[in-house]
Amino acid sequence: MNFKQFKTRIFSLFLAFGIFISSGCAQTAKSDADAQYLKNFITIYNYLQQNYVDEVDAKTLYEGALKGMMESLGDPYTVYLDVQDMRGLTDTTSGNFYGVGLSISKMNKSTPDKPAYVDVVSPIENTPGYKAGIQAGDKITEIDGDPTPDMSMEEVLSRLRGEKGTPVEVTILRGKTVTFKRTLIRDLIQVPTVESVKIGDIGYIKLIQFTPETAPSVEKAINSFDENGGYKGLIIDLRNNPGGLLDSAVNVADKFIDSGVIVSTKSRIQSENKSFSASKKTTMIKKGVPIIVLINKGSASASEILSGALKDYHIAYLVGERTYGKGSVQQVLPLREIDGTHDGVKLTVAKYYSPSDCNINKIGIPPDREVKFTEYTDEQTKVFIKMAEDEVIAKYVEAHPGMTEDDIASYASVLQKDYNLDLKLLRRLIRVETNRTKKAPIYDLDYDVQLNEAIKIINTENFSSLVRSTKTLKELQEAVVLEEDQKKTAE
């Protein structure tokens, strides 16, 4: 790429941004200051090409400039996408790529006090990351021995992905002090959507990710419940669901909400100010049917759109833990092709708001009833890590194929003598290992305290009274503001 081509591309990029952002920004883009910034940018590029001690590759300067431009905004969701990243994005959307099965995020800015480690939003079930015991909230501090704060998000993704069967070692930080390494073997990651089953007379629908297939799959699941004896309540499991397509979340919500706004997006870009409303024609669930939504810190983005809408309309009761808190909308802007390929940028263009006009970005959605799994001390976590490193469960299961639930319970009691951990957790770990070579069951009532609580609510409590007593997201945020004001007044 010569200077003329580079200059043309840079101007094309700025033109694209000008058109993309809005006509209202055009006047600002024509200001003297902005024009001078662009001139300075091109002047420096030209100066580097002519005077730097070594010959400079135009592509290197171009990509570095765009990465810096995106990173300067301090938004982990606004990033430059090189040719490989764009291909990877297409693969992710289509559901065909090789990787480790972790949904992740990463801050752009790293400081000594707050290193920009890779945050695990959620592991995808039945993938290498999930089977290795990596959890939502863990941080990846190193990949193959290299520190992640020094990496861009795109580099992290490219290093976690690779050919099927190849290894990648990650160093995990859990909590503030416990670190351990895991070697993950890359495998085919298929973007899953929905799993469903009846638990007695309760319909259970696990939404794993929001894709174009999610809403049709939810409809199919509900129809299946109706055709097989009906259901007295529904459990919608959004735990560890990192989100996906906004339209998909809207279409799922439309199965439950018969009228009103499901979600709205607000932006300084006129075209991104949108409102998505429910239609009675597509509603499948009768009013008053008990609906429990399971959430945790791995529930993000589109998951929060769905759970927030159902909460604001007092249709569902939320059980579990506070969600991740991603209340923004991104778009991908492909750039002009060079040599038959193209790069692009992904940028935040709007924030979304729940029906009560609340944005949960960096805040999350609290459950109506908090139910947590047992929290282990650093010492217990070290015991857990040692057990995994010793591979005692893997070796035992390999030597005892076809273990039954009784076999699992018996071995857990033996294992507890050497590894002082909760029996339910030990049974869970053994059960996961026995299912390593096959698809795991959809649910685990022996271990899953949140699911058990949801079932208990439907079976024994007055759902109508419960759900009426809940506050909308807006009311919750207003209560927090009021409490903070009262504290300041008291001081």
Catalogue the active-site residues. Answer: 301, 312, 326
Q: Measuring CA to CA, which residue among 135, 141, 137 is closest to residue 117?
A: 141
CA 285/CA 204 separation, integer angstroms: 14
- Please classify residue 116 by burial: count the beta carbons closer than 10 Å to its beta carbon, then call 0-12 exposed, 13-18 middle and 19+ buried: buried
DSSP 433-468: HHTTTSPPPS--TTT-HHHHHHHHHHHHS-HHHHHH
CA 79/CA 332 separation, integer angstroms: 10
C-alpha of 227 from chain center: 33
Q: Residue with structure tokens 């945050």?
A: 119
Number of H helices, E strands in the chain: 17, 19
- Please classify residue 157 by burial: count the beta carbons closer than 10 Å to its beta carbon, then call 0-12 exposed, 13-18 middle and 19+ buried: buried
Pairing between β-strand 291-295 and β-strand 274-277 as defined by DSSP bridges: unpaired
Q: What angle do CA 247, 249, 251 make, to 5 degrees?
A: 70
CA 280/CA 290 separation, integer angstroms: 19
What contacts 123, CB < 8 A, 6 or more positions away? 101, 102, 103, 129, 130, 134, 135, 136, 240, 298
Contacts 24+ apart (CB under 8 A), 85-94: 85/154, 85/157, 85/158, 85/343, 85/344, 86/334, 86/342, 86/343, 86/344, 88/157, 88/158, 88/161, 89/332, 89/346, 92/191, 93/191, 93/211, 94/191
